[in-house]
Structure 1
Amino acid sequence: MTAPTPPALLIAGHGTRDEAGAEAFRSFVRELGRRHPELPVAGGFIELSPPPLGEAVAELVERGVRRFAAVPLMLVSAGHAKGDIPAALAREKERHPGISYTYGRPLGPHPSLLRVLERRLGQALEGTGWDPAEVTVLLVGRGSTDPDANAEVHRAARLLWEGRGYAGVEPAFVSLAAPDVPSGLDRCARLGARRIVVLPYFLFTGILPDRVREQTRAWAEAHPEAEVRSADVIGPEPELLDLVWERYEEAAKGAVRMNCDACVYRIALPGFEDKVGLPQQPHFHPDDEGHDGHGHGHHHGHTHSHAH
């Protein structure tokens, strides 16, 4: 008996106005395709960058794909991973009758990514002579209106601190959530930190990681009593490629273990009760056929509806 054909792999990205960051995503998708020539691989964005997710699905369909596993290339399970991507995939299923898909889970905080973050910290400390026991790390995430997503950044900070010998790891956010980068650095200083490494919790370069670095520079100039260094983003490391493949295999085998215990769309969390059970609405990419020209991105002030 012939073994069934494995599903194709669809990578779903957030999108960025930074062309270098968008190209890093596209290059990452191409590298996954080179690693797995036996499998059709495509990738697209929810917003801001080409190609849109719908175009990536159409590419797979044109290649004869009828089944695929979609993996969100995102560190935390916020609005895009919980609602926008599932809604977009449901829309594509209507556009392409006969296709089927399974949906994977976001990436972090995974032990392999924590190892990359530790490596980025080591690179930031090269040549300083600093003892890690005297270094406080500020881990800066994107930030979300979803408290569950923000809590995942706190979890990543705690996991990064455990057993690695740093004085501490504090979380902060560059948008939409508190504390912001200057407030996070203020907190580190109040806790007695004099040597701080700011570590962006981002996969690729882009406008927000650049903003983290600029805000760090401004704070350091205003606080000469503290020594501050900036680390690099995670980047297209082998660990990231392996982790995406792991998430693909989970989805392809139907073994996804999604954690919905604190999902704002399922559980009435204080201050977010109105989000429970809201219907999903597709998030239209600006290049999508039939797009009506509305704004994009939670960071632009509008909201999307979501439900499981």
Structure 2
Amino acid sequence: MTPPALLLVGHGTRDEAGAEAFRAFVRQLGEQNPGLPVGGGFIELSPPPLADAVRELAGKGVRSFAAVPLVLVSAGHAKGDIPAALAREEQRHPGTSYAYGRPLGPHPALLTVLERRLDEQVSLEERGETTVLLVGRGSTDPDANAEVCKVARLLWEGRGYAGVEPAFVSLAAPDVPSGLDRCAKLGARRVVVLPYFLFTGILPDRVRQQAEGWAAAHPEVDVRQADVIGPEPELAELVMERYRETLKGDLRMNCDSCMYRVKLPGFEDRVGQPQQPHHHPEDSSGGHGSGHHHDHHGGHAHSH
């Protein structure tokens, strides 16, 4: 009997190297898990679109899918766009069913990789005099931004760094230069800029460029730059953990501070917003256009 397929869902990027890193990771998981149908697709910007990944697996006889969003935090894409897209695929392929998992972070396995990325830049002896600027994507969803702050705190606890400060590369404050300003005002003379991203892409490149610009204007501060998380063994195992818990129905999405359920100050109008399927520009079936490559405001469903 064919087990439920592992369907990895990515946001997409205009950076070909980043898109290929996602596709390579999907292939890697397939090779590491023989006998398990594995596929992956994007909701926008990059091929293959999610619809193609589902069509390929369905063509091989797959009828049950466990979809794992390959994203670090629950923002508009994970809360609204991806489940809406899965609902659309269920309509396109009668007889198929979809269980929806939760995003990857924060998780101790990812903290281990982040620490490894920092170790590539500073020695153990340098930790006490090193401040880390953890830079997330940024979102219009305050819950998603709070997750990045949580990761910063978890990364600081017990590891001996002088401090770990959060920042964002888009849509949220503080931005990278402001985050570096804060580190300097707190007395930092060595800062490691740590991008909180799975793979390379336009936004991690932007983080690097902004940090380089700030460092050039502040030569008194030693600014070093760490790499993205990448296709590490811990990431592969975490995805499989999310797959297994999805099959068990152990989803535990972060509903307590979700702006689609709770009236947060300034976001009261988001409560109960309906979902809209996310249209991929290469998907000819209709939906909204490809220009929406920023954070979306799709509704939040908890009955996936």
Quickly name the TM-score band, shorter chain normalised. over 0.9
Deviant stretches of 4+, over 4 Å: none
Is contact 1:116-1:239 (8 Å) kept?
yes
- Deviation readout 1:131-182 (Å, 9 max, x if unpaired): 1000000000000000000000000000000000000000000000000000
What is residue 148 of structure 1 aligned with on the other side? 143
What is residue 42 of structure 2 aligned with on the other side? 45
Is contact 2:44-2:290 (8 Å) kept?
no
Q: Distance in 2 between matches of 1:258 and 1:304?
A: 17
- Counterpart residue type for residue 146 of structure 1: D
- Aligned to 1:154, what secondary structure does the other structure show? helix
TM-score (norm 1): 0.95
Is contact 1:6-1:252 (8 Å) kept?
no
Is contact 1:280-1:307 (8 Å) kept?
yes
- Deviation readout 1:188-230 (Å, 9 max, x if unpaired): 0011111000000000000100000010000000001111000
Unaligned runs of 5+ in 1: none
Is contact 2:74-2:144 (8 Å) kept?
yes
Q: Distance in 2 between matches of 1:52 and 1:101?
A: 17
- Counterpart residue type for residue 163 of structure 2: G
What is residue 98 of structure 1 aligned with on the other side? 95
Aligned ranges for residues 54-93 of structure 1 at < 5 Å? 54-93=51-90
Q: State the identity as a percent.
A: 74
Aligned partner (choices 154, 157, 163) of residue 162 of structure 1:
157
TM-score (norm 2): 0.96
Q: Distance in 2 between matches of 1:147 and 1:184?
A: 18
Alignment of 1:121 onto 2:118: yes
Is contact 1:138-1:198 (8 Å) kept?
yes
Aligned partner (choices 286, 290, 306) of residue 299 of structure 2:
306
Unaligned runs of 5+ in 2: none
Q: Distance in 2 between matches of 1:216 and 1:286?
A: 32
Q: Classify 1:218/1:97 alpha carbon distance in 2 versus 1 (closer, same or farther; 3 Å).
A: same
Is contact 2:134-2:152 (8 Å) kept?
yes
What is residue 281 of structure 1 aligned with on the other side? 276
- Aligned to 1:299, what secondary structure does the other structure show? coil
1:292 positional shift: 5.8
Q: Distance in 1 between matches of 2:298 and 2:198?
A: 26
- Counterpart residue type for residue 144 of structure 2: A
- Deviation readout 1:241-292 (Å, 9 max, x if unpaired): 0000000000012122222100010000000000000000001011112236
- Counterpart residue type for residue 10 of structure 1: L
Aligned partner (choices 204, 212, 218) of residue 213 of structure 2:
218
Alignment of 1:241 onto 2:224: no
Alignment of 1:230 onto 2:225: yes
- Aligned to 1:80, what secondary structure does the other structure show? helix
Q: Distance in 1 between matches of 2:62 and 2:236?
A: 22
- Counterpart residue type for residue 247 of structure 1: R
Number of residues of Structure 1 aligned to a counterpart in Structure 2: 301
What is residue 202 of structure 1 aligned with on the other side? 197
